[in-house]
Structure 1
Amino acid sequence: MRRTLFSLLLKDRNLLGWEAFCVHFAATGRELARETGKRRLATASVGRTTFDRWSSGTWSGRPRGEAAQILERMLGHTLEELFSLAPEVGEPAAALESVAARIGSRWPTSTLLLPAGGPAGIWEISGQQRLDGTSAAVHLLPVIRRGEEASVHGLDQDGLSDLERFLRPARRGFLVGVEEGRDDVDVYVRDAAAARRPALPGAPAAGPIAIPSAYHLDDLSYGILWALTQLDDGLLSDDQALDAEQDLLDTYLSLPRSAPSQLLVNLSTVGSSWMGSVFCARHIQQELVDAREVPIFWTREQTGEEAACWLFFRHKLEYLRALERFHSAAAQTVRVFCLPESAVARSEKYERVLLLLAIALMERCGIRVRVVPKTEYSEVDGVALVPGQQAVVANWVRAPGGVLWAAGSTSSRGELRSYAGVFTDAQGADVLVGEDPAGRLRSLADYLGLDWNWLTARCHALGEYGVAGLVRPRSRLLTVEALDETLLFLGKLGSPR
């Protein structure tokens, strides 16, 4: 028999006993009385017979007056929701198999391994060229979505004990909320660290737990989770090595040109990317320290996997802020991406979302982005060009010949003319149409095959809650500050709500 949401919430919160229910009911009534000045709320009570009728799980009677107001505050749902039938939930094993199959088929870079069909298992995440892959512990839970939250329900004492044991270890883990409907399964994700909190007096250590509906698993949230977990685990695995190699960076910064072999250091692909990125950022800033003209930049990232570094590497945000000194009312910094149609066509949707987010970050920072679709420009150097004066070369993305980076600087007139010609051509071939960030980013969404209204609405929702609750970085070298601000920025550019 299907039961009302009211009866299920009482079970989830260990309030099926009349005495325990009355304690919480009275406390909520006193709180409402103080807020509203209505003294009758402070003295409202519920008799045992009435409570038994409400909690029977059927439609046998509904509260009114002060009791209705108190219940809505106490349980966080409207009276209509509380005393309507809760959504139907299928057999737990079937739901678990369904969500594991759904994640694996929609995102081939993910595999959910659930031993013996149980709720706890391993989430394996694989990378491609720039990310090494990783895995995380995962615990699946039944949820019911109501408004802005998906609330865990239906756990007995054994289920709560299992959840508490899952949350205790200080490891990377995710809670995955599963809501099974008639025709589909909706999935919500929350970083286990966000749920690892002290229990309220008299409440189970692991409950009640809710996952914001903004953390619905789709191409936006999956792309963020996919990139950040791999970057985070890669940097943590190299933490001591990266700290020990800081002198190497200082040594090469003193040279006019450098292209050190990756064989010099024993790093993961992510660790090598971080070292190349941080060196190139410092190299460009050092070379431009005396520049008085506004430089223009060419960027080599072509995929979401490559562009994710802009969103999460802490030094990238510091680098963009340092270059703001070139911004003025009379001039705007320009940064060019080469995104051939063939590269876009090969990319999964979640990677294209990451690419758009990285470009939106730059537009939010006041940088005018151009996108060139010409394949022949794919191997143009990463360069900062001060027209007629200097070209600062800094390649680490797809750096040639197995090197960590290839960097230098030139004032040769021939080379300056060559770079200037490429930038001039890029201006004429730009696929971003619009006089403001909203127009340019909307045209970028079209070029990448992304639904602008869906994307901006999801960015708004996720930005309101923040990324850390979905997936929290643990490495000191990462931050979600830039991404949070970019999500809110994109959300404001979307259609009126």
Structure 2
Amino acid sequence: MLQNLLKDAGITLFSEFATRFEQTAHRLAEETGEAQLATASVSRSSYRRWLEGKQVPQGKKTTRVLYAMFSVPMKELVGAAPAHAPTRTPRCAHRVPLLNRWNTSEFTTAAPASGADSTWWLSPAERGNLFRGVSLTAQLYRARQVNDTLLLAPEYRSHLRAFVQPANRTVVLAAPESTPGEDIYLLDSGHVRRQLAAEPPQRQVTLPRSYRLDALTYGITWALANLDAALLTDDAALAGEQQELNGRFSAPRSVARTELPHLSRIGAAWLGSHVCAQHLTRQLQGGRQPPQFWCREQYGEEAAAALFFRDRHQALEATSRLGAPGTEVGGAFCLPETIVMQGQEYERILTFLSLALLERRGITTWVCTDPEYSQVDAVTLLPEHRAIVANWLRAGGDIWHVDTVEARPHLRDYAQTLDYVRQHTAVPGSDPAARLRSLAYYLELDWPELVVRCRELGQDGVAGLFQPHSRHLTLKELDAVLSFVGGLDPAL
């Protein structure tokens, strides 16, 4: 087995092995505080006997260094390599339960070797109506922590190169040796491929500290993985529907879900959001006064659409442009406590980020907690005595419903509703920081921790954590929101 492990590590000469052995010995001595480990060395004759399987490594210092290098018992190290395992897989079975701490996460290992052929199932939320669940192929590796960075051992390079092939949707997980059983980190396979192909070659694959899996990073990964898988599956069908819509002078006011049964729930949601965004953008053209609008997002997966759907951001840009110094563009949400608090922490963080997205653009957010307002239309009210209706969430059996309202009774109702929420908002504050702090308190999120984690993740960017492949998704707004929140004062 030793010959195979050395081949995986790119070691072909005794001098290379001796150097790696001494480096590991010094690292082990530093990490454990046992200075005598730094004196461990290996002779050429011992090295040859190990390779030939004629001698089992002996001596406490030698065996500890070899185990730190390969995580293989000494008798197995000099024995024949198993036919089913030509490359090394990490031994991290005790870390796997950490991935099952969330109610929508289930990590299972199909093969006897820990981490090999593992499946990470990200299931729908209990009260969700968009996500259907997605399965990711994952591999769990041991890693060494140096300051704020995790390093995967060089001997993993061959195994990593085979595992992260572009044809597969895979993710790399890492468990630091220094905190056994406490943390797991995530790295997108595309980011691993870039590191492996770097010139000059990187000695070790690295993961930043910000990619530690917690409620923030798990929620983002859960949402992106579900959205990405469904939209990739529906890509051809969505392109056909877009082409048909573009051939019309205007989209129908509404389309029933039963008319497009071939689309997934997420595919239908994206199409509805796309039509509503186009309708809103067209109707806002020529507007001169700051609008106020009502949003229907309540659950974490609905908030995820606002964070990642590219067309939503274009409509939001058109809305925020109508703001001017001394005026207020406002957005209202209905987030009843009975609904919000049934969601897990990672779902509430997605909701928080979707409101922070508006605050970053200079839009004041208001929150209504009365569940009776849950059925208010997604509407944008213009001071020019016009209301733009653009429903795509819970639209009563329709994929979308769009309209332009000018009747005074309806306009008066919308105006009174928005004014009520503005005056009785559950997240008061004179500036974005104060309102977002109030929102975190209402959602029972740890404000100081959330600000710090957003700052860390915003600095490194989400693409290295999980990069979506669908052309309909973007990380640009999320990265900007993370940096925005991370720049706020974490003090309570």
Task: Please give the TM-score of this superposition, normalised by the length of structure 2.
Answer: 0.80
Q: CA deviation at 1:471?
A: 0.2
1:178 to 153, 169, 175: 175
In structure 2, relative to structure 1, the CA distance for the partners of 1:139 and 1:416 (3 Å cut) is: same
In structure 2, relative to structure 1, the CA distance for the partners of 1:427 and 1:56 (3 Å cut) is: closer
Q: CA deviation at 1:247?
A: 3.8
Describe the SS at the equivalent of 2:463.
helix
Match of 2:35 in 1: 59
- Supply the distance in 1 between the matched residues of 2:482 and 2:304 (Cα, whole angstroms): 14
Q: Match for 1:139: what amino acid?
A: Q
8 Å Cα contact 1:388-1:416 kept in structure 2? no
Percent identity, please: 36
Q: Match for 2:357: what amino acid?
A: L
Q: Match for 1:239: what amino acid?
A: D
- Supply the distance in 2 between the matched residues of 1:51 and 1:133 (Cα, whole angstroms): 44
8 Å Cα contact 1:15-1:21 kept in structure 2? no
Match of 2:145 in 1: 145
Match of 2:188 in 1: 191
Q: Match for 2:240: what amino acid?
A: A
8 Å Cα contact 1:18-1:51 kept in structure 2? no
Q: Relative to structure 2, which stretch is displaced further, 127-136 or 53-62?
A: 53-62
- Supply the distance in 2 between the matched residues of 1:21 and 1:201 (Cα, whole angstroms): 26
Match of 2:165 in 1: 168
Q: CA deviation at 1:289?
A: 1.9
Q: Match for 2:142: what amino acid?
A: P
- Supply the distance in 2 between the matched residues of 1:53 and 1:162 (Cα, whole angstroms): 24
- Supply the distance in 1 between the matched residues of 2:407 and 2:287 (Cα, whole angstroms): 16
- Supply the distance in 2 between the matched residues of 1:56 and 1:303 (Cα, whole angstroms): 47
RMSD between superposed Cα atoms in Å: 3.3
Q: Match for 1:144: what amino acid?
A: R
- Supply the distance in 2 between the matched residues of 1:52 and 1:390 (Cα, whole angstroms): 71
2:450 to 455, 462, 481: 455
1:205-259 deviation per Cα after TM superposition (whole angstroms, max 9, x unaligned): x96212111100000000000001111111111111111111443467626x611
Q: CA deviation at 1:100?
A: 2.5
In structure 2, relative to structure 1, the CA distance for the partners of 1:19 and 1:164 (3 Å cut) is: closer
Q: CA deviation at 1:143?
A: 1.2
1:488 to 480, 483, 487: 483
8 Å Cα contact 2:9-2:158 kept in structure 1? no
In structure 2, relative to structure 1, the CA distance for the partners of 1:393 and 1:457 (3 Å cut) is: same
Describe the SS at the equivalent of 2:351.
helix
1:367-425 deviation per Cα after TM superposition (whole angstroms, max 9, x unaligned): 1111111111000000011146111111101110x211111111111111111111111
- Supply the distance in 1 between the matched residues of 2:110 and 2:163 (Cα, whole angstroms): 15
1:344 aligns with 2:340: yes
Gapped runs of 5+ residues in structure 1?
1-10, 25-47, 64-84
Task: Please give the TM-score of this superposition, normalised by the length of structure 1.
Answer: 0.79
- Supply the distance in 2 between the matched residues of 1:55 and 1:94 (Cα, whole angstroms): 19
8 Å Cα contact 2:387-2:411 kept in structure 1? yes
- Supply the distance in 2 between the matched residues of 1:239 and 1:53 (Cα, whole angstroms): 52
Gapped runs of 5+ residues in structure 2?
1-7, 40-64, 73-88
- Supply the distance in 1 between the matched residues of 2:68 and 2:391 (Cα, whole angstroms): 55
1:441 to 423, 427, 436: 436
In structure 2, relative to structure 1, the CA distance for the partners of 1:440 and 1:89 (3 Å cut) is: farther
- Supply the distance in 1 between the matched residues of 2:425 and 2:136 (Cα, whole angstroms): 41
Q: CA deviation at 1:95?
A: 6.1
8 Å Cα contact 2:164-2:193 kept in structure 1? yes
Match of 1:307 in 2: 303
Q: CA deviation at 1:268?
A: 0.8
In structure 2, relative to structure 1, the CA distance for the partners of 1:269 and 1:286 (3 Å cut) is: same
> Within 5 Å, which residues of 2 pair with 1:94-243?
96-104=92-100, 106-118=101-113, 119-120=115-116, 121-127=118-124, 128-153=128-153, 160-179=157-176, 184-197=181-194, 198-199=196-197, 208-243=204-239
In structure 2, relative to structure 1, the CA distance for the partners of 1:180 and 1:235 (3 Å cut) is: same
- Supply the distance in 1 between the matched residues of 2:447 and 2:342 (Cα, whole angstroms): 20
Describe the SS at the equivalent of 1:108.
coil
Match of 1:282 in 2: 278
1:431 aligns with 2:426: yes
- Supply the distance in 2 between the matched residues of 1:51 and 1:335 (Cα, whole angstroms): 58
Q: Match for 2:391: what amino acid?
A: N
Describe the SS at the equivalent of 2:263.
coil
1:140-169 deviation per Cα after TM superposition (whole angstroms, max 9, x unaligned): 10012221111123x75xx54433221224
